[in-house]
Amino acid sequence: MAGQAAVRIRRAIALVNSVADEAGDEEITPTEIAEAIRDCLELTEVDETSNVRRYLGEALDAVSDGMPADFVAMTLYAALGALREGASN
Amino acid sequence: MRSAEGRGRTLDEAVDAALIELQESRRNVDVKILSEAPEETIVEVTVMDQTASIPAAAPGPVNGKAEAAKNLVEGLLKHMGVRAQVSVRTGADPITLDISGRDLGALIGWRGETLRALQAVTNVMVGKHLAEGERVIVDVERYRQRREHTVREIAMRAARQVKMTGDAITLDAMQPFERRAIHLALEGDPEVTSSSIGEEPERRVVVGPRKPAEQ
């Protein structure tokens, strides 16, 4: 489905932001964030635009390495940006 | 007597821009309209009572970390081709950077998404200057502050309705900082309770009556 990758990336970003902003109304684990990123990587759509898979892979590595939430978020924003650029070209 | 010139699309925006530069509140200043046109209003804002100023608002760096963050964001905006002023909000904890200028809607984005991304990048950039767990908040034209104020009002209205009807109310999907503002606004109310349901980014706050056992 077109745009499904953007939806999934936004969901992953929202989860990460929830951790970073300390919303205080949920317990998000790194496993859940990693699952959300893997959900993005499952889509073939992420291969249609260069760098999207690479950024998602870097975000997944960042979660595994225990990098700060803002770093993970920034990498996911980069993936979303690459996807948008691909869509506009 | 300190004064600053402020520009904006509306009188409020122009005054806010000058207040941010002066790091002052409205009650301590005198506003003089220099020019008023449909596309731009220019004002001169003068601090009337120096003794009422917050001591930390004196010129000079608020602290080293805040200045480092401010300089980095200024550089980032310059690279983005955005003309805007960056100032450190006085007395704010955590460190809060206010970005002000004209036509900064693009920096805020849909439901504050771009602003949130800017904050993430800023925190990664200034991370080495910060202690573990310390963060920098980025605000554009006081968007976050205005949204927090708005959602707190929504929370109060919802609480009043819940008290009248006894039925729970589910609010619109909100960002984490907005949900947090609602929980904080209602945590002291003995008659209502707030909780969140759903998954990001469609997570919503539910305001409901507090059960007798919870009171």
DSSP strand pairing (B95-100 vs B136-140): parallel
Q: Which CATH class is domain B3-55?
A: alpha beta
Nearest to B16 by CA among B84, B113, B107: B84
Scanning B52-175, the segments in alpha helix (DSSP H) are: 64-80, 105-108, 113-126, 143-165
Mutate to test the interface with A, among B200, B203, B205, B207 (most CBs of A within 10 A): B200
Please count the other Cβ atoms lying within 10 Å of the Cβ belonging to residue B61: 12
CA–CA separation, B88 vs B74, rounded Å? 12
Nearest CA in chain B to A22: B176
Mutate to test the interface with B, among A10, A15, A21 (most CBs of B within 10 A): A21
Residues A46, A40 contacting (CB under 8 angstroms): yes
Q: Nearest CA to CA, how far is B111 from chain A (Å)? A: 12
Question: Which candidate from A10, A25, A70 shows the least CB-CB separation from B179?
Answer: A25
Residues A39, A29 contacting (CB under 8 angstroms): no
Break chain A down into helix, strand, coil percent, rounded to 5.
75, 0, 25
Enter the CATH code of domain B146-214.
3.30.1370.50
pLDDT of residue B53 exceeding 50? no
Overall domain count for chain A: 1
Mean pLDDT of B113-136: 88
Interchain proximity B196–A14, CB inside 8 Å: no
- Lowest model confidence (mean pLDDT) among A42-51, B18-27, B49-58: B49-58
Please count the other Cβ atoms lying within 10 Å of the Cβ belonging to residue B132: 6
What does the block give as tokens for A87? Answer: 């869509």
pLDDT of residue A52 exceeding 70? yes
Residue with tokens 């506003």: B31
Selected residues 19-58 of chain A with any CB under 8 Å from a CB in chain B: 20-26
| pLDDT of A32 | 93
| pLDDT of B158 | 95
| pLDDT of A83 | 93
Interval B183-205: pLDDT, tens: 999 999 999 999 999 988 888 99
pLDDT of residue B213 exceeding 70? no
CA–CA separation, B63 vs B68, rounded Å? 9
Size of interface A-B (CB pairs under 8 A): 70
- Lowest model confidence (mean pLDDT) among B14-23, B81-90, B139-148: B14-23
Quote the domain boundaries for residue A42. 4-88
Residue B116 touches chain A, beta carbons under 8 Å:
yes
What does the block give as tokens for B90? Answer: 């006085």
Residue B198 touches chain A, beta carbons under 8 Å:
no
CA B80: distance to chain centroid?
22
Q: Does domain B60-141 have CATH number 3.40.1360.10?
A: no
> Which residues touch B72 (CB under 8 Å, ≥6 apart)?
B122, B125, B126
CA–CA separation, B181 vs B164, rounded Å? 23
Chain A residues touching B180 at Cβ < 8 A: 21-25
Nearest CA in chain A to B179: A23
CATH assignment of the domain containing A51: 1.20.120.430
- Lowest model confidence (mean pLDDT) among A49-53, A85-89, B58-62, B156-160: B58-62
pLDDT tier at A1, thresholds 50, 70, 90: very low
Residue with tokens 């496993």: A31
Q: Nearest CA to CA, how far is B76 from chain A (Å)? A: 14
Mutate to test the interface with B, among A8, A11, A15, A25 (most CBs of B within 10 A): A25
What does the block give as tokens for B153? Answer: 């009002």
The whole-model pTM stands at 0.70
Residues A69, A22 contacting (CB under 8 angstroms): no
What are the sequence ranges of the domains in chain B?
3-55, 60-141, 146-214
pLDDT tier at B54, thresholds 50, 70, 90: very low
CA–CA separation, A39 vs B184, rounded Å? 33
Residue A6 touches chain B, beta carbons under 8 Å:
no
| pLDDT of B57 | 42
